[in-house]
Structure 1
Amino acid sequence: MPTHPMRFQRLGEPGFEIPVVSDGETSWDLRPLTADIDGAFLAADGLAAAERAALAGELPVIDSTGMRIGAPIARPSAVICIGMNYAAHARESGSEPPTDIVVFYKHPNTVVGPNDTVLVPPGSVTTDWEVELAAVIGRRARYLASPAEALAHIAGFTVANDVSEREYQLQRSLGQWSKGKSFETFNPLGPWLVPTAQVGDGSGLGIWSRVNGEPRQSSTTSDLIFGVAEIVYRLSQFMVLEPGDLINTGTPEGVGLSGRFPYLAPGDVVELGIDGLGEQRTTVRAAD
């Protein structure tokens, strides 16, 4: 019987991941309930149904030993990102903290597993790391009346690395940040999807990163300029958020763009994590 809070994961080789629910000691196969952890599953309140099924002994146990950890959600229909959402990071980027949310997009195929390789684009010398709290939409959200409504539309939270190529983002962007954000492998995600009921509004969580074992970022999600509920509320005023959509909520100070640290190079190891949501460890190599 489960003894700890339940978390969700996808295990197996790329394109063949198995959806599972785990209490940290035992993992249960979700395939009797769903083919994947996707928007349809989330919209049908699948996380709660999966927990009930595991508690009732209705799911087969799966041995996860040695299995690759995939992104905890299937390829999202949208990856929506919030920029400059920690005041200190805005300043290290050369900007004042914004008075409204800064929004950009990543191609959904940037999403990979939390320990998968990050590929530096050919010729890049300004590839950067960004640890971020990520929210996954569970219910369709449009024209919400207030931030207070927003949490009910979030299925859960996970860890993202919003990998960025700064030359394409800033010098070659013509104002369109997405150009530096959508290279392959540029959104390691996971390891877990943790239901909102266990996380609350996403505030008060320690958030950190290291490169080659050396500290880079260290902050708390309480330092977000716009909290997660406020972000979802504001986004819903000008777009419809669909179940399975991924929202990266911004990164703290301590990235390569600050000039205080070297950018990523082949052979580097990036580790990052958020309290209660797990940790990532990715190795950097040059793209073929």
Structure 2
Amino acid sequence: MFSCSNQVAMRFMQYTCKRDGPQRLGVQLAPDRDIIEVSAVRASVPNNLVDFLRAGPQMMDKAKRIVAEGESLISCENVNILPPITKPDKIICVGLNYKSHCDEQKKPYPKEPFFFSKFPSTIVGPNGNVIHPPNSRALDWEVELAVIMGKECRNVFKDKAKDYIFGYTVAQDISARDWQKASKNHGQWLFAKSMDTFCPLGPAVVAKEFIADPHNLRLTCSINGSKKQDGNTSDMVHDIYDLVSYLSHCITLLPGDIILTGTPSGVGIFSQTKQMLQVGDIIESEISGLGKLTNHVVSSK
């Protein structure tokens, strides 16, 4: 039988079959392996991760039993991989949360975390296109570790924060830098961060028990094969549990909520050449143990 003591990870994925059919929720035990079709095997299992998490811990137990039985498998070649989580209640992002990112801007490390948000409609999949909006000339990249909340979280202290996390995935926080200026939207970052397709996610949400230390993960971002960012989550100013606890004393975090935890140095706007994303560019974002995103920048139609 499958157990949490096994070294293989439970990687939750959303997908559709290429031939036909509705969205499904499945589990991979390793990247590029066949997908165990948990929602197709049991009608009681939701076909999306948000509803799966809202159903409580008993649903995770059910998924583990289905994985152990291995009844229904489908090849990755026969599916369209979707974002691993869609329609969360909220996406919360933290700014200046890597020391190296503060250093490249010559800014002090924040004593308290500060947050902004993205609309849930920004989410696209691990191979989805990033649309270059016609009203921006300064599109930038930011690879980030994303935290997926597993249950309702309110007024939680740091030593208990881990209990409320379900897992982790790779995120790309696309940013329209010219919309972060005071001359745009009165300096508010909402549109700079929330234009369509500005949040690629995936390819899977890895359950937390299969990540030995989320504060020791390498994260990289390459543009057209040229590495731009190469950092480690150990460089965070405020660690994951600090962020969850801080937020929980301000708002109620719900199952499926996403927290983007910041980015290391190497973004375009602070490079010597101030390189920005252009139509035709390929963004590759990767985090050790979690997976890789490959997103093409395309023009707006």
Whether TM-score is above 0.5 comes out as yes
**Aligned counterpart for 1:274 among listed residues 284, 287, 291:** 287
Match of 1:105 in 2: 117
Q: Which residue of 1 aligns with 2:79?
A: 67
Residue matched to 1:194: 206
Going from structure 1 to structure 2, the CA distance change for 1:254 and 1:173 (only over 3 Å counts) comes to: farther
Task: Report the AA paired with residue 9 of structure 1.
Answer: M
Q: Among residues 96, 100, 103, which one is paired with 1:91 in the alignment?
A: 103
Question: Counterparts of 2:267 and 2:153 in 1: how far apart (Å)?
Answer: 32
Mapping for residues 129-278 of structure 1, pairs under 5 Å = 129-144=141-156, 146-171=157-182, 172-260=184-272, 261-278=274-291
Letter in 2 for 1:277: L
Asked if the contact 2:118–2:194 (Cα under 8 Å) also holds between the matched residues in 1, the reply is yes
1:21 and 2:27 matched: yes
2:15 match: 11
Stretches of 4+ moved more than 4 A in 1? Answer: 13-16
- Per the TM alignment, residue 97 of structure 1 is displaced from its structure 2 partner at its CA by 1.5
Q: Which moved more, 1:41-50 or 1:148-157?
A: 41-50
- Post-superposition offset of 1:34: 2.2
Out of 261, 267, 283, the residue aligned to residue 296 of structure 2 is: 283
Runs of 5+ unmatched residues, structure 2 = none
Residue 149 of structure 1: CA displacement?
Answer: 0.4
- What letter corresponds to residue 249 of structure 1 in structure 2? T
Q: Deviations over 1:158-211 (max 9, x none)?
A: 000010001112341423212200000000000010001011451100010000
AA partner of residue 139 (structure 1) = K
- CA-to-partner distance for each residue in 1:222-250, whole Å, 9 max, x for gaps? 10111111100000010000001011000
Residues 25, 49 of structure 2: 8 Å contact kept: no
| Aligned match of 1:30 | 38
Counterpart contact for 1:151–1:201, Cα < 8 Å: no
Which runs of 5 or more residues in structure 1 are unaligned?
A: none
**Matches of 1:95 and 1:66 in 2, distance apart?**
48
**Structure 1's 56 and 13: CA in aligned 2 closer, same or farther, altered over 3 A?**
closer
> How many pairs were matched up?
286
Identity across the alignment (%): 35
Q: Is the 8 A contact 2:88 2:257 kept in 1?
A: yes
Question: Which has the higher mean CA deviation after the structures are superposed, 66-75 or 262-271?
Answer: 66-75
Aligned partner of residue 71 in structure 1, secondary structure: coil
TM-superposition CA deviations, 1:85-137 (whole Å, max 9, x none): 00121233453221111100000000110110000111421000100000000
Letter of the 2:130 partner, please give it.
V
Q: Helix, strand or coil for the counterpart of 1:90?
A: helix
Using the TM superposition, give the Cα deviation of residue 74 of structure 1 relative to its aligned residue in structure 2, in angstroms: 2.5
**Closer, same or farther: CA 79–181 of 1 in aligned 2, 3 Å:** same
1:154 maps to a residue whose letter is I
Quick check: 2:221–2:284 contact (8 Å CA) kept in 1?
yes
Q: Distance in 1 between matches of 2:297 and 2:163?
A: 37
Q: Which residue of 2 aligns with 1:56?
A: 69
Compute the displacement of 1:13 (Å): 7.9
Greater alpha carbon shift after TM alignment, 29-38 vs 277-286: 29-38
1:41 has 2:52 as partner: yes
SS of the residue aligned with 2:76? coil
SS in 1 for 2:294: strand
Aligned residues of 1:5 and 1:23 also touching (Cα < 8 A)? yes
Deviation larger for 30-39 or 162-171: 30-39
SS in 1 for 2:251: coil
Distance in structure 2 (CA, Å) of the matches to 1:118 and 1:47: 32
Q: Counterpart of 1:18 in structure 2: which amino acid?
A: R
What is the TM-score when the length of structure 1 is the normalising length?
0.93
Of 241-250 and 69-78, the range deviating more from structure 2: 69-78
Question: 2: distance between equivalents of 1:5 and 1:47?
Answer: 13
